[in-house]
Amino acid sequence: MNSDSNNRNAGQTDAAGAHRGNFKSRLGIVLATAGSAVGLGNIWRFPVETGQHGGAAFIMLYLACVILLGVPMMVAEFIIGRRTHADIATAYERLVRENPRDTRLSRLAPSLWPVTGYAGMVCVTLILSYYSVVAGWILKYAVDGLMGRLTSLGDESAYFAEFSSSTLPPLLYTLAFLLATHMVIVRGVQNGIERISKLLMPLLLVLMFVMAFGSLTMPGATDGLLFLLRPDFSKLTPETALSALGQAFFSLSIAIGCLSTYASYFKQDVPLVKTAANVVGVDTMVAVVSGFIIFPAVFSVQGVQPDAGPGLVFITLPDIFERLFAHTPVVGYVFALMFYLLLVLAALTSTISMHEEVTAFLCDRYHIPRRHAASIMTATSMVLGALCALSFGPLAGFKPFFGRGFFDAFNDVTAQWIMPLSGIVLSFFVGWRLPRALVEEELTNHGTLKMPRFIVPTFLFLVRYVTPTAIAAIFIGQLM
Ligand code: PHE
């Protein structure tokens, strides 16, 4: 065996020869990766974006974005992770080292590509912090649902405002969510991440279909469906396109290293393009089915508009549940509880993938035991998460980032700056910097996978020209 194939088969060991772990089954891979993608982005953010940008028109643009940009970007990340079987920072460093380029620029300046790996880790840490706060709120609503309180909250808006602006309860729920994530991570790749994904993802899909069925039998179902399916072309504006692209990136967890970290646990025979297509398919289906759950319910209640905004899940929906099920409280109890449970499961599989990216880096790089690495990440996210949680309460007046508090600043800097910029770098890296032969080897599993001839050139065309241009367009668009 030559040294290259030695490297390629080093899936279970890191640079120092320590055990790294890998996913056991193909199904586990698709479910874990889809678990990273499916999250609050699908069930909370997607319906809000769809509602605010005119329904079907937005969905059409969104579908174009996930197919033309989402799949190639996801494959690009898979290539980086699976080729190196390393954490995201090491992966960039190793790929640059092993594929030297002798240009005047490369002799003058040290390679800056690996900076993207570190930026990705900063980005997921910030996302994990504010995401855990929202996930904590969801957990609180799931507990309320269990106690049967959700269908009798009274003034929903005041209820949410009072809870989110208090001090201790949001902190405790954020902590509970991070600890749940931590417990999965310390069990490792196969026993933790893969096992929990195989349990939670099917449960989530079953819950979704049961709820969509329930929702489609509601009185406003036809209006809800029409809103989702009949495009209003006047809504096809550049602004809608930008939102669709941003939503696609966030929803697919693209460009910041979570997916390459998972791919570093893929075995050599995993088909990358097919896996990406499956994951994108599941993610998109969950988003659209969430629309089928939410909009029929929204249209069933007089006076509620579909563009209710970010308060949808915490204010509008409890109100809807209360009014809709006033005469059938048992159905209301089950429906509301299932809905928040669904959100908890979806959020958990996403926070796990964010946490794993940094934990993997700490283990690989510093050779510390996994549970210590995980504790460092959990503690860091909790401190930052506390600042985000408190920015709705005691720290509400503290806005150190150009007039923004912690929660908003973390949200903006990750979604509007780090994700798009990392996406552009990732496209260039895989499209132009990596040798074409390497990309081809990864796409075809060293020639062992039979696939139509056009796949490799199409992939290269997309990551070289289409994805960087499209991302640059959103990036510049939002600055203006
Ligand atoms: N894709 C996740 C969601 O839809 C969020 C996420 C973003 C997860 C970035 C990992 C990395 O909720």
pLDDT in tens, 2-53: 333 333 444 444 444 446 889 999 999 999 999 999 999 998 889 888 888 8
Span 129-138, pLDDT tens digits: 999 999 999 9
Atom 11 of ligand 1, residue of closest alpha carbon: 253
- State the Cα–Cα distance between residues 175 and 137, nearest whole angstrom: 11
313 Cα: distance to centroid of ligand 1 (angstroms): 18
Span 438-470, pLDDT tens digits: 999 999 999 999 899 999 999 999 999 999 999
Whether the full predicted model's pTM is greater than 0.95, yes or no, is no
Domain ranges of the chain: 3-479
pLDDT > 70: what percent of the chain?
A: 94
Residue 414 beta carbon below 6 angstroms from any ligand 1 atom = no
Q: Which atom of ligand 1 is nearest to the CA of 283?
A: 4
> Tokens for 88?
């995201």
Count other C-beta atoms under 10 Å from residue 411's C-beta.
Answer: 17
Angstrom distances, CA of residue 315 to CA of 156, 158, 160: 5, 9, 7
- State the Cα–Cα distance between residues 243 and 248, nearest whole angstrom: 8
Q: Which atom of ligand 1 is nearest to the CA of 37?
A: 1
Amino acid 308: pLDDT: 66
First to last CA, the chain: 55
Given ligand 1 and candidates 33, 36, 43, which is best to mutate, with the most ligand atoms within 8 Å of its CB?
36
Q: Identify the weakest region by mean pLDDT among 66-80, 102-116, 174-188, 257-271.
A: 102-116
Angle at 331 between CA 325 and CA 336, to 5 degrees: 80
- Report whether 386 contacts 171 (CB < 8 A): yes
- State the Cα–Cα distance between residues 206 and 200, nearest whole angstrom: 10
CA 55 to chain centroid, in Å, comes to 22
Q: What is the CATH number of domain 3-479?
A: 1.10.4160
Angstrom distances, CA of residue 387 to CA of 53, 141, 422, 454: 31, 21, 25, 49
Residue 251 beta carbon below 6 angstroms from any ligand 1 atom = yes
Count other C-beta atoms under 10 Å from residue 401's C-beta.
Answer: 13
Span 289-300, pLDDT tens digits: 999 888 888 888
